[in-house]
Structure 1
Amino acid sequence: MSEVAARVQVVMADYRDSRQGEDILALMDEYARDPFGGGEPMSDFCREHLLERLAEFPGAFSVLAYDGDGDGDRALGLVNCFMGFSTFTCRPLVNIHDVVVSAAARGAGVCTAMLDFVAREAKNRGCCKLTLEVLEKNLPAQTAYRRSGFKPYALDEEWGTAQFWQRYL
């Protein structure tokens, strides 16, 4: 275990807490600027409205990872989650929408600590599974997710794995 991983503290984020709000926005901006996050800074609109919209959105929750006890320490990572529902199991699920680990903390177990926290929260909420999307060429993220027990989704291997598609509105 790395020195950073030994000190990582993961907490449920409070969107209305000013310090945690600043940390969420800073980490989201770092993610947005990364090539795997689109390579552009977060928009002014998102900066201004993201926290209030997350706080109001039913089933949204986020976790933050800090280097230390989370009180005045450096924010290392963020996971944004949304509750969903599995019709096949008739139970809720958690979709992990954003996973951010600050560049300086990558490879130190921060992602694993946050995903383990989310898994415990999902179990407490009676969920059947966690879902997430990852870009095909984001191999470091895929490695981290596999280490945490994720794998490509397939109902039957004969039919292949599911693909994540989108349609802009």
Structure 2
Amino acid sequence: MEEAKDILVLQASYTNPVHAEAICHVLNGYAEDPMGIGRPLAPEVLLHLPEELAKRPYAFSVLAFVNGEPAGLVNCFEGFSTFACRPLVNIHDVAVMKAFRGLGLSQQMLRKVEDIARQRGCCKITLEVLEGNAVAQASYARFGFSAGMFDPEHGRMLFWTKFL
């Protein structure tokens, strides 16, 4: 018989040492994954990330713990929709540690993000996903996300980057 899983999904407190450590642990696991950057984060990033997130009033994170172990993370930043004149939430990172995949954690964390977005009066939630990450795309589609588009005649929105 499979062991019962005690799953806890919550909004992280950046000043809580357990949450801060969990954020760094899961984000580093995501960074090491091929769908991340394929290598660990720099030690100085891990050392300062929670305190830097705490300085940003429009940042929030959702954590998932399974049997007390850090298992998942969603990092979010509030933005603003000029077309709706309302805030929005951009999901910057979604990560589930390899050992905890298949438990539905991403769906549970996305529900928590949506609850927070609704509490903040947001008009939408946005995210970026790699073109080759079919598993993540299926998860997001199952939650109700679709390719960004105003008018099909003009095509989908694209996410571009310029590194500084």
Fold in common (TM above 0.5):
yes
**Contact 2:88-2:123 at 8 Å conserved across structures:** yes
Structure 2 SS opposite 1:52: helix
- Amino acid corresponding to residue 90 of structure 2 in structure 1: N
Normalised to the residue count of structure 2, the TM-score between the two structures is 0.95
Structure 1 SS opposite 2:158: coil
Normalised to the residue count of structure 1, the TM-score between the two structures is 0.92
- The structure 2 residue matched to 1:85, chosen from 65, 80, 83, is 80
List aligned pairs for 1:94-109, cutoff 5 A. 94-109=89-104
Q: Distance in 2 between matches of 1:3 and 1:129?
A: 37
**Contact 1:34-1:40 at 8 Å conserved across structures:** yes
Q: Structure 1: which 5+ runs fail to align? A: none
List aligned pairs for 1:29-44, cutoff 5 A. 29-44=28-43
**Contact 2:89-2:125 at 8 Å conserved across structures:** yes
Q: Which runs of 4+ in 1 moved over 3 A?
A: none
> What is aligned with 1:150?
145
**Contact 2:58-2:77 at 8 Å conserved across structures:** yes
Taking only aligned residues, the RMSD between alpha carbons, in angstroms, comes to: 1.5
> What is aligned with 1:54?
53
CA shift, 1:3, in A, is: 7.7
1:120 maps to 2:119: no
CA shift, 1:117, in A, is: 0.5
* Sequence identity percentage: 48
Q: Distance in 1 between matches of 2:143 and 2:124?
A: 13
CA shift, 1:107, in A, is: 2.0
Q: Structure 2: which 5+ runs fail to align? A: none
